[in-house]
A and B are shown apart, each in its own frame.
Chain A
Amino acid sequence: MIKAIEVTKSFGATVAVDKVSFEVKPGEVLGFLGPNGAGKSTTMRMITGFLPLSAGKILIGDYDIEEDPINAKRLMGYLPENAPSYPDMSVEAFLHFCAAIRGLSGPQKEQAVEKAIETCHLGKVRRQIIDTLSKGYRHRVCFAQAILHDPPVLILDEPTDGLDPNQKHEMRLLIREMGKSKAIIVSTHILEEVEAICTRVAIIDQGRLVFNGSPAEMLAQSPQAGRVSVNILGPNAVEIRATLQKLPAVTDIQILKELPLWTSVLISSSKKDGLASAVKALLDSQKWDFNELHTETGRLDEVFRRITSLDSAQEVKK
């Protein structure tokens, strides 16, 4: 549904986005991550047809955003970075205006506006002038505008920015629900959000795409991922260390805690698949009891830091 091919954008001498390619199909929610100034918003502005491309190509459905912008824009809903709207209008008037521009009229328009007001919980403020709304409400008004015409493609630039925890939660549920049928791109700085709503992750750093895969694949890049931690009852640390060395491809055994009753151990291995069951089999054969055994999944923030800072370090060397 969304196809970006070697998309490049330069502002004078600075290259803000450098040959970024990816694809988002209906039913996918792509999480767009990257440090400040990485080029996320710039990429989204090109996808939505606000900024012209310096090079490359973007297809929305069958339409090229540069060659057939009107048809491409019809398919999209867009929540820009700071959720702009016309401050001198009432919520209702603003949504009616957007619906009209989207080509809706008559009862269809009324219905679309009502549905958006309901979905975004704007009923209470529908006649209020946007200028007098709180930041979170202004954000919701702009989001309402983006989903008004039920577009098959949604581009959301930091959709949960400025929302309270309840609204954040609701927004995530909403995006996940809509993501079942639509192609969605969401940029965010909140990594839990990625795990909660995204089916895919793209990380962009200094304008370049440095990761593109599933959240699970991203987690797997964590050095922590695949390690097994276990609390063994009975034997002392020396005994445990000696025994665990027998596991296949062990690279490191860390004694985390040594208590009178049990010892907490962290096992790293270059062979991550089936490590937990190998550990269990070994403990069983020794007739050692344990009260906790689990495989670490790794942490997204750690992976994020590794991927983005690694790349910056290379940049400095050049």
Chain B
Amino acid sequence: MIQKSHNEVHEGDAARGGMTFWEFLNTYVFSRDHKVIGLQFLFSTLLWFLVGGILALGIRWQLAYPWQPMPIIGQWLFAEEGGQISPEFYTTLFTMHATVMIFFVIIPILAGAFGNFLIPLMIGAEDMAFPTLNMLSYWFMWPAFICIGLSFFAPPYGAGAGWTSYPTLASNPAAAPASGHAQTLWLLGITFVGVSSMMGSVNYMTTIIQMRAPGMTMFRLPLTIWGMFITAILQAFALPILTAAGFMQLMDRMLGTGFFHPGTVGNQQRGAG
């Protein structure tokens, strides 16, 4: 459906030189071209790299000068704590630092940016096997960006259960008073990252298996491509499980299910003990 209209638009581009708004949208925004998508991933992740780095600075400040007010921004950010980083906010800092670095930098930059850009070029394919799926895999990162971004604004300003989000700390809203809505937004965000990576991994596997140029046998593939191939396989195995677990944590938090809470039957949570 989208595919057809896109092809029609795309054909005349180069010849005409100029572009209508819709052509621009199709070429650079909702692009189905692996190089453009690769670059979109690259620049989005570089921005998040900056965010992760700033959070790391906060962690290091507390470790280097424990219980001292942070200069300049301390009074503005943590006025109630006299400009200091509180223990609650410290857990938030390293949770969000690691989350951003792992799920919003390393994974999308290696698979999303370099995988997209390099796989077709290095195996001699014209593009990915499923260009539309490829486009969707990038745009599914945006709900993730938005959820994680919002979680910085929902008290206590970021999730605080560690980047591994272990239950019951992460799944029981009462377990971490410091996590609140931020943890829910975190789980939603990570679920979107998981869906995005799944779409990517299907694409990488299919492309590497099906679209190699004649003569490019599996054993002539560059080692980089082998690395990405194995990564895609691992992602295809791991992500559905992680995503399902994320949903289960969300349901525990929002609907009162008891997947991770021993002694819970339906909505009834037994008191501790």
User: Does A pair with B?
Assistant: no
